[in-house]
Structure formats: C-alpha cells, structure tokens
Amino acid sequence: NAGVTQTPKFRVLKTGQSMTLLCAQDMNHEYMYWYRQDPGMGLRLIHYSVGEGTTAKGEVPDGYNVSRLKKQNFLLGLESAAPSQTSVYFCASSYLGRSNYGYTFGSGTRLTVV
C-alpha cells in the first residue's frame, strides 16, 4: 500500500532557487494538504485542496504556490527560496471532509535553504 508518497525526501537549495515538491496519493482522496513543521511550532497548514482543480490558502501561504491538476497529485512550489523556508514539509490527504477521519500523511521532505 503506497498511501501518500512525497518526492524528494531531502533537498538543499540556494537562496533564490526554485523547486517543486510532489505529493501523490493512491487512495482516491478528495482532500489534500501541505504542511510545514518547524521546531516548537507543530505543523502549520500552507495550502490545501478540496478536489481536482481547486486550491486554497492555509495559515502560512506566503512564498508558496500549489497546483492540483490531477486528483492524485498535489504540487507545492517555491518560486524563490528563502532561508526562512528551511523546514520539513508534509503532504496529507483525507477522504470524508477535512478532518472527520484524520489524515494520511506522507513521510516528509526535509528542505534546507542556504
């Protein structure tokens, strides 16, 4: 069972570079999310999607863009990376509503911006 797959698992970027994180789920979930995890701050929601072709801002959206062209994929883009975006990024998905049954998480991407 693949569940939620994130690629890459690790990445080092230079300030100003761009990159895209890919999240793929094979559970036919409608809802997908991107979080960032920073020490002492838990997980904070960046953007989310309630279905193919839809996206919405979460708690900390600045500096990020997302796209959901296919139901199974949710992409997170950094157009011009900054050191403040050094973090661990998690993708998650859910089926019935945003939180009714909890989320299935990917294994995370550790991003370092130097």
Partner 1 sequence: AQTVTQSQPEMSVQEAETVTLSCTYDTSESDYYLFWYKQPPSRQMILVIRQEAYKQQNATENRFSVNFQKAAKSFSLKISDSQLGDAAMYFCALGDDMRFGAGTRLTVKP
Question: In the complex, which residues of this chain contact partner 1 (CB under 8 A)?
Answer: 33, 35, 40-45, 88, 90, 92, 97-103, 105, 107-108
Q: Which residues, at least 6 apart from 83, have a Cβ–Cβ distance to it below 8 Å? A: 15, 113, 114
Strand 56-57, strand 31-37: pairing: unpaired
CA 99 from centre of chain: 16
Q: Give me the least distance between CB of 31 and partner 1, in Å please.
A: 10
Nearest to 90 by CA among 61, 111, 63: 111
Closer residue to partner 1, CB minimum distance, 17 or 95: 95
Closer residue to partner 1, CB minimum distance, 4 or 13: 4
Closer residue to partner 1, CB minimum distance, 22 or 88: 88
